[in-house]
Structure 1
């Protein structure tokens, strides 16, 4: 019987994740560079009706990633209209679902609701999952699909030769979806997992059980559908771009770089489970031995997947923490297993200290947000959000003072940081360039039939394209390849309207254009200076002098 303190409802944890991460995720408080590839392509799909071919903002073809992520962005646009919210909503939901699947994974393996609940709390507070859920890029979708496949593996680990067919369906359909999201990394982890089940020395599973042709066939169809379609439409040349991204452009051959990336990946893997991993330190050797003896097969599986992702990370030319996400939920279950069997909940002092640290950080961040918003003024929504954040903070404070539900208090205190952070960044980042340009277009009644050329940071152009929607046709003249100013001027001659970054504006003659300011934002390099002068009566003018400006140029 699980004590009331550890009766953790996964739906509540999923809801907490969605609510506390949502405000930061569903506006462009931060815009990750790779998001432009997926939002630009999805807008192009709405414009040309071709839902298979992916384009860059400058109109060039891009085949570096499979179609899965593009379709998720497109689904958001179809369901809610084209906006920052709709570009990310399904990625936030994917993050919450990953939390729920982690609970289910642990419950299947151990039939222990306490252990399953701790697994959900650990992965919900994992910063890699949190950040991935705030970006419209493949990583959180891959993490969700691989966690789903891990449930299939868990069924095989638990039931062996008597595995119910539903687990094989879950396994192969999930791997098919994972391949359609990210490609070769999904195939590698799936292949390693299947080989492990077939050859591990403790509980081998026959190929007769592993190879379930109906689910395997449909999984292969799902995984390869887009690749076959691209072969039919564009021929084999598209594979050059795909393999360059998947292998050629990412796999390192220099030993020193491999060692550096491997050490970095290992350090980050440890860091993303802080402070939970520190709570396992007392009697760690004994706890590991105990869990190993309890279920060698799962322990070996989790360890192998962890080593595999570290190996893949080491082989990349540049390692990013998000590469760890596909195995993060499995490792969260492993860590929860070690913690629960080691009686971590009896070490209340460590749980309380950890929670106090994050509540303290939230308090500091909250005071900063109050100071910032009171000086600059803000919307009713932001003030209501700050009030709600205070209510949650007080609730977690009381739980910690009373030594009640400490694992939940710790997990939620980490999530609360991101909730409060969005009340501060709202004044620094928002309204961002896309929203401002959209308002400019409405106020000036710009004709959507007139094409727009963009010269400037292409990540900004992506945000503007999202807010303008499919009615406006905007082309990135800057592109990803370096061009001279003269080349940009020549290419811009065919466009009646231009959006131009301030550093290029001196190249355009005001006798040829009507020039107006379309957006003004804080320059990230000048944030410390602007914060120091926030009470200056001429603050708006200071922002304009020290900010990043985009101009609207209409050809005369």
Structure 2
């Protein structure tokens, strides 16, 4: 492993940002839940009310605390209303999570190799990468729980002599995590605080942990939005919040609970790809060895792991991102296990893994070259292709540098997302929102126009970002459309809903046309046959602009 001076944590964080950035900072892929936060942030800019979240159809939304909305809003205020802006601070949160893991591992262990390996494992963790490319709460929750974990480790490391700064880090981390997603932070934080005061290996006095100024500020931060909502909307808002946090998420069927628990356990192991492979041999022996070496730390890791597995088991629908709050802490333990298990000396195995990911990167790059050779593209994409190829060549050239192998493996995983964005550029971009934005600018539409939208909700969210705060777009559904379509200056409709509009009263024009990922095989065939535009018109996603006659 390289020394810290040669592989600084800032370099790892920068590599994560640059390699994941092209995939994250535009709608190469759009996650469904992003619309809740981007729609609300646009509405906040229009009304000036930054306390209350609204859906695209104008309904109130109280299911999540306010902090995620503010991260989106901050991006919009800083960079303007764009896909880039909606995800910018979430990408940085992913990088900061890596930094939090590094600093926590460095605090816990004197061996800097553990801290460096922890950061590399965290950087290549698939769920962190995907979460950092979406404007949803999970990566923020992971970042703030990593911050809280740093505070907990401070108490495990120093006991009753812990400096006060770790109380501040701990309670602010938990408070901010609570303002992101609510009860998961409360549950893990509460268990951690109980553990500090009762564990037999490094028991900490309650008065030492609960430093009053830090606790008070944490309570103010954690309760801010809840008090604000009660003041503005009364107690009814809690029904929606509690239903989301507990009601609709808690499963009651034993078979479903068992299935979720098994899936959570398997994913908690498998998602540490490929690192867990190096720790399988002699795991039981090394686990016991590590437990006796650092009982308080290992006990804390096990407690949080069991807690998140049980919470994940109880949901009605399990997502791998639910595991993210404890992944930073788990990553430190995995890095510790690997170093003790002789991972850094397994040169041949590391080279095999590296060449596997290099081969995978070459395949991804070739697919991207094919798409962009057959379709109009930008000079930036060709530059990205050259950079991708240069990094691959560099990785091959450094295969004999034993100390660089862990970093090369981590970066080769990140490079997959850099390379994937070369292909998705042709499939997904420009997204429907940017196409509609271009149409609106071409038509020189009056700012402040009222626009009704009938179509896929996720596409509607992209269109709302494209139009920005200058236009008030309201989402409609098939039920209320016949009564409401006449209330708007303009309408935007997905192709399948055109028959619901009296065409003799409206001028209808195509405003956006995109490839549909469902017809990827037709796209390949069309590129090969040279009739891509015809096939795109036949199978593509179409959105129409309707103007009253």
Q: CA deviation at 1:283?
A: 2.5
Describe the superposition over 1:472-509 as per-residue Cα deviations: whole angstroms up to 9, x where unpaired.
Answer: 1000012xxxx44xx32222121121000011112223
8 Å contact 2:147–2:170 — kept in the other structure?
yes
8 Å contact 1:451–1:497 — kept in the other structure?
yes
8 Å contact 2:260–2:314 — kept in the other structure?
yes
Q: CA deviation at 1:448?
A: 2.1
Equivalence for 2:287: 288
Secondary structure class of the residue paired with 2:430: coil
Q: Find the partner of 2:506 among 487, 497, 513.
A: 513
1:538 has 2:537 as partner: no
The change in CA–CA distance for 1:456 and 1:278 in structure 2 (over 3 A counts) is same
1:377 has 2:376 as partner: yes
8 Å contact 2:26–2:83 — kept in the other structure?
yes
Rounded to whole Å, the distance in 2 between the matches of 1:393 and 1:300 is 41
Equivalence for 2:59: 60
8 Å contact 1:8–1:113 — kept in the other structure?
no
8 Å contact 2:522–2:535 — kept in the other structure?
no
Rounded to whole Å, the distance in 1 between the matches of 2:14 and 2:36 is 29
Rounded to whole Å, the distance in 1 between the matches of 2:414 and 2:10 is 16
8 Å contact 1:453–1:476 — kept in the other structure?
yes
Structure 1, 47-56 or 195-204: larger mean CA deviation? 195-204
Q: CA deviation at 1:3?
A: 5.5
Rounded to whole Å, the distance in 1 between the matches of 2:512 and 2:408 is 41
Equivalence for 1:328: 327
Rounded to whole Å, the distance in 2 between the matches of 1:241 and 1:425 is 37
Rounded to whole Å, the distance in 1 between the matches of 2:459 and 2:15 is 31
Matches within 5 A, 1:68-147: 68-147=67-146
Rounded to whole Å, the distance in 2 between the matches of 1:229 and 1:320 is 30
8 Å contact 2:4–2:112 — kept in the other structure?
no
Query: What TM-score results when the alignment is normalised by the length of structure 2?
Result: 0.98
Rounded to whole Å, the distance in 2 between the matches of 1:433 and 1:9 is 40
Q: CA deviation at 1:433?
A: 0.1
Rounded to whole Å, the distance in 1 between the matches of 2:344 and 2:530 is 53
Rounded to whole Å, the distance in 2 between the matches of 1:305 and 1:399 is 38
Rounded to whole Å, the distance in 2 between the matches of 1:510 and 1:99 is 55
Rounded to whole Å, the distance in 2 between the matches of 1:491 and 1:509 is 13
8 Å contact 1:7–1:117 — kept in the other structure?
no
Matches within 5 A, 1:486-505: 487-505=480-498
Q: CA deviation at 1:8?
A: 2.8
Rounded to whole Å, the distance in 1 between the matches of 2:499 and 2:523 is 25
Describe the superposition over 1:148-207 as per-residue Cα deviations: whole angstroms up to 9, x where unpaired.
Answer: 000000000000011000000100011111111110110000001111111112121121
Q: CA deviation at 1:464?
A: 0.8
Secondary structure class of the residue paired with 2:53: coil
Rounded to whole Å, the distance in 2 between the matches of 1:208 and 1:428 is 58
Gaps of 5+ in 1: none
What is the number of residues matched between the two proteins? 549
Structure 1, 279-288 or 457-466: larger mean CA deviation? 279-288
1:359 has 2:358 as partner: yes
Secondary structure class of the residue paired with 1:470: helix
Q: CA deviation at 1:285?
A: 2.5
Equivalence for 2:423: 424
1:523 has 2:516 as partner: yes
Equivalence for 2:268: 269
Q: CA deviation at 1:272?
A: 0.9
8 Å contact 2:249–2:315 — kept in the other structure?
yes
1:337 has 2:336 as partner: yes
Q: CA deviation at 1:112?
A: 2.0
Q: CA deviation at 1:537?
A: 3.3
Structure 1, 85-94 or 349-358: larger mean CA deviation? 349-358
Describe the superposition over 1:374-426 as per-residue Cα deviations: whole angstroms up to 9, x where unpaired.
Answer: 01121000000111111111111122244451100100000000000000100
8 Å contact 1:6–1:117 — kept in the other structure?
no
Rounded to whole Å, the distance in 1 between the matches of 2:449 and 2:175 is 42
Equivalence for 2:37: 38
Equivalence for 1:451: 450
Gaps of 5+ in 2: none
Equivalence for 2:166: 167
8 Å contact 1:7–1:113 — kept in the other structure?
no
8 Å contact 1:5–1:405 — kept in the other structure?
no
Rounded to whole Å, the distance in 1 between the matches of 2:475 and 2:4 is 55
Equivalence for 2:227: 228
Describe the superposition over 1:78-109 as per-residue Cα deviations: whole angstroms up to 9, x where unpaired.
Answer: 11111111100000000000001100000000
Rounded to whole Å, the distance in 2 between the matches of 1:96 and 1:8 is 15
8 Å contact 1:6–1:405 — kept in the other structure?
no
Q: CA deviation at 1:293?
A: 1.5
Equivalence for 1:549: 542
Describe the superposition over 1:114-142 as per-residue Cα deviations: whole angstroms up to 9, x where unpaired.
Answer: 11000000000000000000000000000
8 Å contact 1:287–1:341 — kept in the other structure?
yes
Q: CA deviation at 1:461?
A: 0.7
Secondary structure class of the residue paired with 2:398: helix
